[in-house]
A and B are shown apart, each in its own frame.
Chain A
Amino acid sequence: MNANKTGESVPKGSDHSNAESSEDRILALAKASAKGISDKDIQNEIPDLRPDQRASIINKFLSKGYLDLFTQGGTLLYKLKDPTVAQKVKGADNEEKIVYSIIEEAGNKGIWIRDIRFKSNLIPTQLNKLLKILENKKLIKAVKSVSASKKKVYMLYNLEPDRSVTGGAWYCDQDFEAEFVDVLNQQCYRYLQQKLEATKDCKGGPIAARNISYASSKDVWKYISDLGISKVQLSVEDVETILDTLLYDGKVERTVATDGDHFYRAVESLLPAPGIVRLPCGVCPVLQNCSDVGSVNPKKCVYMKEWLE
C-alpha cells in the first residue's frame, strides 16, 4: 500500500492526452462500480494501456486521495473515495493524511494517542503537532474516556462518541451520576409497585392479576419520560438497564415475551428478614474476631449494649 501511496504525483497539465483520457475512463469505471475495480477490470476496459502507465495513473489517484486500495482474495481492488472526505484533508500533507486515516478507521470508539503513534511510526512531538493542527482545522476532536479519566481518545469531528467512551446517559463529564440512577431506580420501582397494588382488588383470577402487574419496558420508559425527571433524553435501552438493576435488587422479576420484548413486574421476597440480622451479630463487622478471650467478646460487646438498651 505504501509503495503505491508514496508514488510520485504526475502534474495535471500533462501533454499525454492519451493518458488523460485513460484517467477519465478509469475514474468513470470506478464510479460505476461500488464494489471497486481490479487491475483486470481496467485491462478489459482499456486494453491498450501499458501496465507501467496504469501503475502511474493509479499511483497518482491514490496520492491525490481519489481512490482507496483494498486487497480481496489476493487481488488488489481500487475503490472510489467519498469526494467529501477527500475535500476535507485537502491541502494537508502526507503525514496528516495518514494520521487522519488512522483516526477515521477507529470510528466512533476513538483511538488513543499511543496507538496512533504505533500505527503511524511518527515521533511523539511531530504527532502532537499534527494532532493539534487537525484539531484546529476541526477535522478531529479529543474525547475523554470514562473508563480511564486521564485517557484521551481522538475521533473525527462530526462523530457522536460511542457509549463505551462517554458511558451513555449515566455520565456527566466522566462522572457517573449515581444519584440520577438511584432516583430513576426508585421511580421505576414505584411505577411497578403501583401496578402490583392495583391487582389487589382484581376480580379476574390470579392469571389476570399477574398479567396486569406486568409492565413492558416501553411502558416504564413512557412513564419516566412523562415524569420529566431526566434532562437528557433516555432511550428504551437506558430504562431497561435501570430495570435490570431493580432485577438485581430482587425487587422485580423479568420475563421475555414471544416478540422479544422484556416485561417486568414487582415481586415480594420469599422470606422476611432472617432472624440472624435481628441480632447485632448478624450485621457485626468484627464477628470473625469475636471470641471468649480478647477485647472483642460477647460480654463486653458495645453493639449488644446499644441494642439491649
Chain B
Amino acid sequence: MSLQFEKLCSLILLEHFGEIIQKVGNDLYKCQSKPLNLIVGSTKLPFQKVKQALRIMIQYGFVTFAEGQFPDKAEYTLLADKVILLLRYPRYLLLMKTQYGDEAEMLVEEILRRGQDTASSVIIRAATRLKESLKVEKVCLVTLHDKFSVLVNKQFLMRCPSPDEEKGVPVLTIKEKLLYLPPELNLKGLADIEEGKPGDPGDGGIYWRVNFDRFHQDFRDQIMVSAISRRCDDNAGELLKELLKQMYLRTEAWAATSNPVPFTELREAVRKQSSRPLLGQYIEQYLKVMEEDSSGFVSKVGDSSGGQYSINMKTAFVQLTWATIENIVMERFGSKGARIFRLVRAKKFVEQEQIQQVAMIPAKEAKLLTYRLLEENFLHIQELRKSLANNVPNKTFFLFHIDLNQVARMVLEMCYKALYNAMVRREHERSENRRMVEKQQRIESITLTMREQGATAEQLAEIEEMLTPPEQALLEKVRTMINKLSEAELQLDETMFILQLYLSYQV
C-alpha cells in the first residue's frame, strides 16, 4: 500500500465514477476502516452523497462493511486491489470472447457494468444488445440462459452473499453449495419481460457477480502454457494444459504445489485428443524434458502407476518473475547490465572484482553498471566485516546480492507509476484537444440530422468541409495516441499480473 498505489486508485475511481466517489475512496484509503459519519466529517461532502457513493462502491465490491467498535454501527473498508482490477476488465472480456463466444462476453460485460445483478436482467440486457449489434429481430433467450449456466458451472460467475437477518449491521453470508448453483429461470416470464409485458422470471433477490479469481486462474494457466511452449514446443505446452486440467480434478486451484497426477491418467487424457499424434507418441519423453528443464514447472514425485507428476505453481512463478525482472533489467541497462544481474543471481553473493572477471566486461564498464544497478535498487549490498571492533584496521567485504521479493515489489511500484503516468497523459491529451473533438462530434450530429431530413449530397459535403484537413489530421493523431496509451495500459497489466501473483504465492 504505497503512495503510488493510492494515486492510481484515486485516478481510476475518478475516471470511472467521478469526483464524489474518488473523494470517498481517497478518504477510505487513508485509514483501515471508518464509520459513515466520520467519512462525512473528513470529506466535507453532504451526508446523502457519501451514502450514495458508498452504496455504489459496495455494489461493485470495492467496499465492504462490518460491525465496528460500536455495536450497530457499520465501518467501511476500501478494497483497493479490487479497484485496480477495473483496468483488467477488457482482458476478462477478451478471454470470454475467445473461449466461450460473443454471448458469454456480452453476459459478463453486463454483470461487470452493474457490479452485481440478477440473472434475468442480465440476460435481457444482453439480448437487447445482441439484437442491436447483430441486427436481428429475435435472440434465443434459451441459448443465453444456457450460456449463463455454463459460466456458473465453470465458476466464472458466482452468487452474491445476502444478509441473513435484519438486525443491526447485516452480515453477508452464502452457503457454500449455493455459490455456484445455476439459476432456475422461468423462461416464459423472461420472454414476456423481453417483449415489454409484465412477467416473473422467478429469480428475484438472487444476485450474481463475477468471480475474478477464476479469470486469474485462466490467465495464470495461459502464461505458464505459453512459457513452456516457448521453452520446448507447442506439444509440451499442450501437455502442460492437460496436466493443469488433471490438476484441477484433485487440487485446489491456488495451491503452491499440485497433488500428484498419475501418469496413466494423463496418458489416457492425452490419447483422447487425436489432434496431436506426436504428443501421444512421445508423452513420456515430453514429461522428462519438462521435468529436467531449468524452469522447474513440473516435477516427478513418485513412481507408482507409471510415475506421479506434480506442478509447482510457486516455483513456476518465481521463475517467471525472474524472467520478467531480467527482461526489464535488460531493457533498462542493456545486455551487459542483464549479464551482471544474472551473474549475481547465479552466484548469490559476489564481490565486485569477481563480477568483472566472470562477466568478461571491462573493469570500468562493469563497475559503472554494477553501481547503477545498485543505485536503482536492482542489486543489494551486504557488508561482511572480519571483526566488529572499531579500533582495529579491518578488511570489509562488500558482497552484491539480489533480494527477489524486494525487487519484485519495487518493479510493481514502477508498474503502478507507469500506469498512472499513462492514464494522466491520456487524459491530458484528451483535454488538450477537447475543443476539437467536440467540434467533430457536433458536425457529425448535424450531418446525421441533415441526412434524416433528406439533405442533398452537396449540402452534406459542405458541412463536412467545416472540419479542415489539418484539423482532421490532428484528430486522427490524437486518436492514435490515445489508442496507443490504452494499449500500453493493458500490456502493463500483464507485467503487474505476474508480479502480483508471485507476491501472493510468497505469503
A interface residues (Cβ-Cβ under 8 A, vs B): 170, 176, 178, 181, 185, 205-207, 210, 241-242, 244-245, 247-250, 253, 267-279, 281-283, 287-288, 290, 292, 298-299, 301, 304, 307-308
Are B331's CB and A287's CB within 8 A? Answer: no
Residue in A170, A277, A278, A299 whose beta carbon sits within 8 Å of that of B424 in the complex: A299
A269-B323, A271-B227, A290-B421 known; A249 vs B339 contact (CB < 8 Å):
yes
CA distance A99 to B254 in the complex (A): 72
A23 to chain B, nearest CB (A): 51
Are B362's CB and A176's CB within 8 A? Answer: yes
B30 to chain A, nearest CB (A): 18
Residues of A within 8 A of B233 (CB): 206
A-B contact pairs, 13 of them (CB 8 A): A207-B285, A248-B339, A249-B342, A250-B326, A267-B294, A270-B319, A271-B320, A274-B327, A275-B494, A276-B491, A276-B495, A277-B331, A278-B488
A248-B339, A249-B335 known; A276 vs B289 contact (CB < 8 Å):
no
B interface residues (Cβ-Cβ under 8 A, vs A): 7, 223, 227, 230-233, 235-236, 281-282, 285-286, 288-289, 294-295, 319-320, 323-324, 326-328, 331-332, 335, 338-340, 342-343, 346, 358-363, 365, 376, 411, 414-415, 417-418, 420-422, 424-425, 428-429, 481, 484-485, 488, 490-495, 498
CA distance A287 to B287 in the complex (A): 43
B262 to chain A, nearest CB (A): 21
A270-B231, A281-B418 known; A308 vs B484 contact (CB < 8 Å):
yes
Are B414's CB and A282's CB within 8 A? Answer: yes
Residues of B within 8 A of A273 (CB): 327, 331
A206-B233, A207-B285 known; A274 vs B417 contact (CB < 8 Å):
no
Are A299's CB and B428's CB within 8 A? Answer: yes
CA distance A271 to B225 in the complex (A): 11
Are B327's CB and A283's CB within 8 A? Answer: no
A170-B360, A279-B418, A290-B421 known; A248 vs B342 contact (CB < 8 Å):
yes
Residues of B within 8 A of A205 (CB): 281-282, 285
A253-B294, A268-B231 known; A276 vs B418 contact (CB < 8 Å):
yes
CA distance A181 to B335 in the complex (A): 14
Are A207's CB and B339's CB within 8 A? Answer: no
A206-B289, A207-B285 known; A178 vs B494 contact (CB < 8 Å):
no
Residue in B326, B424, B484 whose beta carbon sits within 8 Å of that of A298 in the complex: B424
Q: Please, which residue of chain B has its CB at the minimum distance from the CB of A253?
A: B294
3 nearest A-B residue pairs (beta carbon): A275-B491, A281-B418, A298-B421
Q: Please, which residue of chain B has its CB at the minimum distance from the CB of A178?
A: B362
CA distance A207 to B294 in the complex (A): 15
Q: Please, which residue of chain B has its CB at the minimum distance from the CB of A281?
A: B418
Are A268's CB and B421's CB within 8 A? Answer: no
Residues of A within 8 A of B324 (CB): 271, 274
Q: Please, which residue of chain B has its CB at the minimum distance from the CB of A276?
A: B495
CA distance A183 to B229 in the complex (A): 30
* Residue of A170, A248, A307 with highest tally of chain B CB at under 10 A: A248
B276 to chain A, nearest CB (A): 12
Are A250's CB and B286's CB within 8 A? Answer: no
Are A275's CB and B493's CB within 8 A? Answer: yes
Are B323's CB and A281's CB within 8 A? Answer: no
Are B425's CB and A277's CB within 8 A? Answer: no
Are B417's CB and A281's CB within 8 A? Answer: yes
Q: Please, which residue of chain B has its CB at the minimum distance from the CB of A176?
A: B362
Are A270's CB and B320's CB within 8 A? Answer: yes
Overall SS of chain A's interface: helix
B273 to chain A, nearest CB (A): 17
Residues of A within 8 A of B285 (CB): 205-207
CA distance A244 to B339 in the complex (A): 10
CA distance A253 to B365 in the complex (A): 25
Are A271's CB and B323's CB within 8 A? Answer: yes
A287-B417, A308-B481 known; A282 vs B328 contact (CB < 8 Å):
yes
Q: Please, which residue of chain B has its CB at the minimum distance from the CB of A285?
A: B332
Are A206's CB and B417's CB within 8 A? Answer: no
B434 to chain A, nearest CB (A): 15
A245 to chain B, nearest CB (A): 5
Are A275's CB and B414's CB within 8 A? Answer: no
Residues of B within 8 A of A181 (CB): 360
Residues of B within 8 A of A248 (CB): 339-340, 342-343, 346, 358-359
Q: Please, which residue of chain A has its CB at the minimum distance from the CB of B485?
A: A308
Are A249's CB and B495's CB within 8 A? Answer: no
CA distance A289 to B72 in the complex (A): 47
CA distance A304 to B429 in the complex (A): 11
CA distance A197 to B429 in the complex (A): 46
* Residue of A268, A282, A292 with highest tally of chain B CB at under 10 A: A282
A128 to chain B, nearest CB (A): 29
A309 to chain B, nearest CB (A): 8
* Residue of A178, A270, A278, A299 with highest tally of chain B CB at under 10 A: A270
A205 to chain B, nearest CB (A): 4
CA distance A275 to B327 in the complex (A): 10
Residue in A242, A270, A274, A298 whose beta carbon sits within 8 Å of that of B328 in the complex: A274
B417 to chain A, nearest CB (A): 6
CA distance A272 to B414 in the complex (A): 19
Are A270's CB and B323's CB within 8 A? Answer: yes
Residues of B within 8 A of A176 (CB): 362-363
Are A276's CB and B328's CB within 8 A? Answer: yes
Q: Please, which residue of chain A has its CB at the minimum distance from the CB of B290?
A: A206
CA distance A241 to B356 in the complex (A): 12
CA distance A304 to B482 in the complex (A): 12
CA distance A210 to B492 in the complex (A): 34
Q: Please, which residue of chain A has its CB at the minimum distance from the CB of B484?
A: A308
A206-B285, A269-B323, A298-B428 known; A276 vs B492 contact (CB < 8 Å):
yes
A206-B282, A269-B323, A278-B491 known; A301 vs B421 contact (CB < 8 Å):
yes
Are B414's CB and A281's CB within 8 A? Answer: yes
Are B417's CB and A290's CB within 8 A? Answer: yes
CA distance A271 to B425 in the complex (A): 28
Residue in A206, A274, A279 whose beta carbon sits within 8 Å of that of B422 in the complex: A279
CA distance A268 to B463 in the complex (A): 56
Residues of A within 8 A of B281 (CB): 205
* Residue of A178, A269, A274 with highest tally of chain B CB at under 10 A: A274
